[in-house]
């Protein structure tokens, strides 16, 4: 049976730094999970080099392609999806 995969989106520097410095990655890996961190496209190469041997996989967020798709494909529908992602998670999250 193959390892389960956890995807973590770290879309800004501090989130990424705090995540990589925490024990979360090693804890997940010890539990048998494969960790894939989604980062800015330009950071994939440098992060892969800096973390060689750590077992962490880095993949690009491809935000330019996502924005292009959202603008091109059913724009109003995409707007509502974005809205629901922002405010639909929990009443305890302050979205104001």
Domain spans of the chain, in order of start: 1-61, 63-96
pLDDT at 15: 83
pLDDT at 89: 63
pLDDT at 58: 97
Place of tokens 């190469």: 45
pLDDT at 55: 92
- Average pLDDT by consecutive 10-residue portion of the chain (96 residues)? 86 84 93 94 94 94 86 82 74 61
Contact predicate 37/59, CB 8 Å: yes
Residues belonging to the chain: 96
Token readout for 22 is: 């925490």
Which residues have CB under 8 Å from 87's CB, separation 6+? 93, 95
Nearest-angstrom CA–CA distance, 28 and 24: 6
Token readout for 69 is: 């798709």
pLDDT at 46: 95
């Amino acid at each position: 049976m193959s390892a389960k995969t956890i995807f973590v989106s770290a879309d800004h520097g501090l989130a990424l730094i705090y995540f990589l410095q925490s024990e979360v990655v090693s804890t997940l890996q010890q539990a048998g999970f494969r960790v894939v961190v989604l980062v800015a496209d330009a950071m994939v190469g440098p992060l892969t080099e800096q973390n060689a041997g750590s077992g962490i996989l880095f993949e690009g967020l491809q935000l330019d392609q996502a924005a292009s798709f959202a603008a091109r494909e059913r724009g109003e529908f995409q707007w509502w999806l974005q809205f629901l992602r922002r405010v639909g998670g929990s009443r305890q999250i302050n979205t104001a």
